[in-house]
Structure 1
Amino acid sequence: MGKNLIQQRRGKGNPRYRSPSHRFPGLATYDNIPKGATSGIVTKIIDAPGKTLPLAEVDYNGTKVLHLPNQGISVGQTISMSSAEEGNIVTLKEIPEGTRIYNIELTPGDGGRLCRSSGTFAVVVAREEKKVVVLMPSKKKKEIPADCRATVGTTAGAGRIDKPFMKAGNKYHAMKALGKFTAKTSATNKNAVQHPFGGKNFGKHKTVSRNRPPGRKVGSLAPRRTGKK
């Protein structure tokens, strides 16, 4: 009897494939900042399972909000919305050219979408009347509405990938904390009972019908065309 495929086990909802969201401290978004607030004070820096960098808890007159911290942040630091200084949150139209920014909104009010992982930043390269041109880490230039918010500086946790994992076990535990499954075995390396591509006979067709049953629906699903372009 054949074994369930990994997508079948994942769809069943096994705890191995679930993200441990009950351990996550919360969302780091601009939407939680109280309306009318002009500044806040960093009260503590907390570990954040599920993220590649810590989170900073900022107090806005009694309202605690989570933020993505900048490199070199400290407890007691003031986060302001009025000047384009390191760690402050301002709109793109207030940021001079050549400034590093992160946690950038794509549309005004979405809370921040770009450059949110550890050690990343984008650079403001040009400004127009209603648009700001930003150089992304991929070297791609992106036009963003000038009313979108961003944080000045570089995200904390730079240099995280400089230290190698050294052992597969370290990689496993790091990915488990992020809620990701790692060390996936290739389908062609499995036994025939475990996957349609498994077994010693290579060269199986990967194009399958849209109506294939679960357990056989793997490969290129109902492709419009096959072969090389």
Structure 2
Amino acid sequence: MGKRIIAQRRGRGSTLYRANSHRYLTQVKYDNKINTNTQATITDILNDPGRNAPVAKIKFKDNTTTHTLISECSKTKDTISIGKDAKIELGNILPIGKIPEGTPIFNIETRPNDGGKLVRSSGTYATISSHDTSKTVIKLPSKQFKALNPNCRATIGITAGGELKSKPYLKAGTKWHTMHKRGKLYPRTSARAMNAVDHKFGGSNLGVTKTVSRNAPPGRKVGTIASKRTGKKR
């Protein structure tokens, strides 16, 4: 009798395949008071196990604090200007309708006051493409264009931590800990290298068909599912 394949075990959702989200630092989004013209100071730069980009703890004039993503070249004790009247400088937070064309931005809202949804990964940025009376068009890292409300907020610059992937993993254990803290499966064994008890493609039998019916049971539904054709198109 065979075992459940890894796809079935992951679908069950045991703790082995879940991300340790209780260890994540905090929810990172724009504060509601960022709608007003104000300033904040970076008091600390923190590491969040749930993301590659560093997270900054900022302090407002009324001594309240929040967490946000920062741009490259930012450091502690830097001052961030916030609001529609803020200067066009690295790290400042403004509505995208007030940012000139060609300016790199990140941590972009898709709707006003949603806290920031787009371009939040380390080393990424979007670009202001054009302005209109009712919308602002931005160019995303995927080269696609997206029209947004001019009142959506964004941070000027490039998300910090872009050189993270330039440093190679010298030990498999380091890579394992990086993947494990986010619930990612590592290392991954190819199905062909498994035993026959662990996967449909396992064992020394090379005659197993890759195509499978759409109505196949979960343990057998691997490969090309209900494919019309396989291989290169001639």
CA distance in 2, matches of 1:26, 1:111: 13
Asked if the contact 2:192–2:201 (Cα under 8 Å) also holds between the matched residues in 1, the reply is yes
Residues 128-185 of structure 1: per-residue CA shift (max 9 Å, x gap): 2222222222333333332221101111112111111133222222222333222211
Q: How does 1:70-219 map to 2 (within 5 A)?
A: 70-79=71-80, 80-81=82-83, 82-83=85-86, 84-219=88-223
Shift of 1:126: 2.0
- What letter is aligned with 2:98? E
TM-score (ref. length: structure 1): 0.87
CA RMSD for the aligned pairs? 2.2
Shift of 1:53: 1.7
CA distance in 1, matches of 2:2, 2:180: 28
Equivalent residues, number: 227
CA distance in 2, matches of 1:36, 1:197: 56
Instruction: Give the ranges of 4+ consecutive aligned residues of structure 1 lying more than 6 Å apart after TM superposition.
Output: none
CA distance in 2, matches of 1:94, 1:203: 63
Unpaired runs of 5+ residues, structure 2, are none
TM-score (ref. length: structure 2): 0.85
- What letter is aligned with 1:96? P
Q: Secondary structure at the match of 1:7?
A: helix
Asked if the contact 2:18–2:182 (Cα under 8 Å) also holds between the matched residues in 1, the reply is no
CA distance in 1, matches of 2:224, 2:108: 36
What percent identity do the matched residue pairs reach? Answer: 44
Residue 74 (structure 2) pairs with residue 64 (structure 1): no
CA distance in 2, matches of 1:210, 1:137: 36
Shift of 1:17: 1.0
